[in-house]
Amino acid sequence: MDGEYQEVYIRNSRGVQLFTCRWLPFSSPKALVFLCHGYGMECSGFMRECGVRLANAGYAVFGIDYEGHGRSRGARCYIKKFENIVNDCNEFFKSICAEEEYRDKCRFLYGESMGGAVALLLHKKEPTFWNGAVLVAPMCKISEKVKPHPLVINVLTRVEEIIPKWKIVPTKDVIDSAFKDPVKREEIRSNKLIYQDKPRLKTALEMLRTSMSLEHTLHEQVRLPFFVLHGEADTVTDPEVSRALYEKASSADKTIKLYPGMWHGLTSGEPDGNVEIVFVDIITWLEKHTSDDNSVIVQPIHTYRNAILKMNTTASPPQTINKQHQQQSPRPVRTQSHRRYFCGLKGRRLQHHSAM
């Protein structure tokens, strides 16, 4: 099946230019999938395979680079308020859902790592709007054993408005520990749109606060159908985070699958055979949850306050999406354990891991 790739620039409510992209099947899409990328990452290059594979399967896929990320404007990888990311995604995603050709389609969120937190906060913002979410190694809880001491947080909070953009948070090279395949690892490292410097002070604090806030609302406010996937050998985000999400969430329809031996980059850093297995699982779950019975018509909503969607005049020409063979994989496992976990980002107490 062939498809089309497009790039569009928009302006958010704060007047910042943001980059968006989309992968569209030529036929009417089965449903809409909205990508939420991880910390420091971007959509057009890093998440291209995800967009292509889902479009090949018949889905319309939409991505946005957060402010300060990828090809969007703003201080590089500076998160002044995590809420800004959520609001920008919410406005853009809803503007797509309100288009006449998409108003009767099912709507799914897809979040990787920090993008998993964005997806969950979008659901929290409007609990009945989304038909489901795919969460890949999500950042939604932080381990007690790696959480900074309250006194440390207090000291950093006192200076965050004085030196908010300082790159003072120690970190190790996450690319080496996140992506198993050495060739893919180097391709990611050569992607200049991916932020590879130390996290900024305020950025790290905003991510910490978001994780801590989410962990206290998993039971009450996560109710949508979701599929959470995690590599058991992930050393960037703890796989027990996904188990905690699965066990605590109030969702009646929830599925978890842990992949033995796989690392953090399930869809982008594993050998091709493993990546194939993961995408077959994701598409199988989407197919199961895509039906006319699940769709809810979206009423027209306002456009962006300071801009209108505009095609990028310097964008790449539409690209042909080549059909790829998909092999069968074991059915996702639904676990029944009810143990309690306090888990999350792995690492030393004062060390920050870029949640990709």
Chain length of the chain: 356
Q: What is the dihedral of CA 140, 144, 147, 149, to 10 degrees?
A: 140
Q: Which residues are catalytic?
A: 113, 234, 264
User: Alpha-carbon distance 299 to 202, whole Å?
Assistant: 37
Quick one: how many helices (H) and strands (E) in the chain?
10, 9
CA distances in angstroms from 228 to 78, 242, 245, 330, listed in the order given: 27, 6, 8, 15
Q: What is the rounded radius of gyration, in angstroms, for the C-alpha atoms of the chain?
A: 19
Quote the tokens at residue 352: 């920050």
| Residue 58 in tokens | 């018949």
Place of tokens 């690892």: 185
The secondary element (H helix, E strand) that includes residue 311 is strand 310-311
Q: Are 229 and 262 in contact (CB under 8 A)?
A: no
Provide the token pair at 78: 């500076």
Specify whether the CB–CB gap between 354 and 199 falls below 8 A. yes
